[in-house]
Amino acid sequence: MENISDRAAGYHIPGVVVDGQDPFAVYEAAKAAVERARAGEGPTMIECKTYRIEGHFVGDPELYRSKEETMKIFHDTDPLKKFREKIANINSLLEQIAPYEKERVEKVKERITDALEKTLSVDYDKNRLEQELNLLHRKAGCQRRKTTP
């Protein structure tokens, strides 16, 4: 049997294999399993494939592999390194879209200012406006705060 999670089928539950060295993959698998459980669909077996960097027990001489092999594999698949790289990529992406986001915020502010100026330039009946606002608030089921001009 290649994957321990294949045994889950014997218990009539799903089994999932995930790269245990990838914190984001583990998170997504766990999130899906939690959602499934909360929906009343039962447990999920999650098998996280990882690399053991220590021996089988304290004092294990680890004659079955070299220290260099262990350190190279760990260096190449270090979960914290993967996490930092992914976060750096996300931060880089955020920095790239920041100017566009700022531009959109400015456009929205501009439109709000234009709408407000147009509204304030219109001659209106203050009593009628008060009645309409009160009616809207009643329909929404909330109290309207009185504002002073």
Asked if 64 is an active-site residue, the reply is yes
| Residue-by-residue DSSP string for the chain | ---GGGGGGGGTS-EEEEETT-HHHHHHHHHHHHHHHHTT----EEEEE----S-SSTT---TTS-HHHHHHHHHHH-HHHHHHHHHHHHHHHHHHHHHHHHHHHHHHHHHHHHHHHHHHHS---HHHHHHHHHHHHHHHT-PPPP---
The residue from 12, 56, 128, 145 that is catalytic is 56
The residue from 12, 38, 64, 128 that is catalytic is 64
The residue from 52, 65, 138, 144 that is catalytic is 52
Asked if 84 is an active-site residue, the reply is no
Asked if 56 is an active-site residue, the reply is yes
Q: List residues with catalytic annotation.
A: 52, 56, 64
